[in-house]
Amino acid sequence: MKITQHIKVAALTAALATGAAVGSAQAEEPIRFGLCFDLSKSYTFISPQVAQAAQDLAMYANDNGGIEGHPVEMVVRDHGNEPQRGVECYEQLKRDGVFIFNFLSTPVSNAALPRIMKDENILMQSAVGRGDAVDGEVFEWVFPIGPTYWQQAANDVAFIKQQLDGNLSDAKIGFIYLDYPFGQEPIEILKTLAEKEGFELDLYPVPLPGSDQSGAWSKIRRDKPDYVISWLLAGGHVVASKEMRRNGFPIDRYLSVNWMNEVDISNIGEADAKGVLRGTNVAGGQEVPIIKTMLDTYYANGKGSGPEEKVRDVYYNTGMSMYSAAFEAARIAIKENGWPLTPETMKAGYEKLEGYDANGLMAPLTVTGEDHGGGGKTRVEQWDGEQWVPLTDWSAEYLDVVWEVIKESSEKFHVD
């Protein structure tokens, strides 16, 4: 690798040692991450990509000197989205000395969270788990880096307001959602904003797994909302696209939660999906520097941690964003506090992240002791038939409203 490229990639991943040789890194004690993921049941549409990204980033760090001279080890286990198995994975890896965990599942994260809080270990909780866990004053050991669903929904409303010339008083916004906790989570924020801005909010619950939406879209055809915000997953978007065509609803007024990927677009049809909107805190595509580096360094030589098709998926970018932020936090922690890396110093490292975006991989993060989410910024992107095109800058809107709800919820939490 050319030295100029090496320096650039080192800066964006924050994974490389400062002046340490590769050989010496392998001789040092490792930094171990526990990936207790659902690799077999409910979340297999995302967890393999995230695990693969984490393993690729660890491999790249280790090949270039580690994190401040220490190699990275990813310990991957399957919990099948079963809370008890997730807790067992936590307890086993904890005995093995792991203290940084990611469960990538809301029910498993929620089950393990009280134990982790009591043990004062680190819980990575991006894109899952309790929305109020961004309150670092209450959830001291939990880092839900990125926007909560509450903040993402608020940002979606702000986008719609912008499209409607800054006035929502005569607007009608629909919310179609899977009728279980994931889908229901934004409702309180949406109701609060409806009252604040004066728009009409219409709710369209869809039973799991999202394959039966005919009744909801018949109501949408009758109600004629200006926009529909969607909290569906995977095949649910495909069904929604068919129902939109059948009911004459324009796809460019359909604003999806971040869980819409290249597989969904392919299943809808690249041409048929043209115009669809997605809120996201992660840049898609393979032109992001760190993604290009993984393709050029490993996949072009048949050395990646999994199939190349997984790299060509925004969920791989999502995994890369989670772990690049964690690697940067570890780097700061070791640089400022020395070895050994501990939960206390890792926590302090996370809380020193300021404007970190891994060179364009994600919305800039500024994590503090009060805000463990990093600011809650997202942007809206639109599929143009070939790729996702950003329509807005990264921003976080209605912060006062969202944080009022966060505080109301977090103050009720306590560890027995």
27 burial level (CB within 10 Å; 0-12, 13-18, 19+): exposed
For 174-232, the pLDDT digits (tens) are 999 999 988 999 999 999 999 999 999 999 999 999 999 999 999 999 999 999 999 99
Mean pLDDT of the region 329-333: 98
Q: Which fold has domain 3-147+284-376?
A: Rossmann fold (3.40.50)
Calpha distance 306→364 (Å, rounded): 28
As a whole number, the mean pLDDT across the chain is 93
Minimum mean pLDDT among 20-24, 97-101, 152-156, 350-354: which range?
A: 20-24
pLDDT of residue 28: 86
Please answer whether residues 240 and 230 qualify as being in contact, where contact means their C-beta atoms are separated by less than 8 angstroms: yes
Please answer whether residues 135 and 407 qualify as being in contact, where contact means their C-beta atoms are separated by less than 8 angstroms: yes
Q: Which fold has domain 150-280+380-410?
A: Rossmann fold (3.40.50)
Alpha helix positions (H), 164-277: 181-184, 187-197, 214-223, 235-247, 262-268
Going by C-beta distance under 8 Å and a sequence separation of 6 or more, which residues neighbour residue 385? Answer: 270, 271, 273, 274
- Strand 379-383 and strand 277-280: the pairing is antiparallel
Residue 26: pLDDT band by 50, 70, 90 thresholds?
low
Minimum mean pLDDT among 1-5, 99-103, 192-196: which range?
A: 1-5
Q: Length of the chain, please?
A: 416
405: which 2 tokens? Answer: 């709800």
Going by C-beta distance under 8 Å and a sequence separation of 6 or more, which residues neighbour residue 202? Answer: 172, 173, 174, 175, 219, 220, 223, 225
Do 3-147+284-376 and 150-280+380-410 show the same overall fold? yes
Residue 416: pLDDT band by 50, 70, 90 thresholds?
confident
In DSSP terms, 203 is beta-bridged to 175
For 152-166, the pLDDT digits (tens) are 999 999 999 999 999
40, pLDDT greater than 50: yes
Unique residue bearing structure tokens 């060509």: 312
Check: pTM over 0.85? Answer yes or no. Answer: yes
In DSSP terms, 389 is beta-bridged to 382
The CA-based angle 278-106-316, given to 5 degrees, is 50
For 293-322, the pLDDT digits (tens) are 999 999 999 999 999 999 999 999 999 999
Q: Domain locations in the chain? A: 3-147+284-376, 150-280+380-410
Calpha distance 34→154 (Å, rounded): 32
Unique residue bearing structure tokens 């809650």: 376
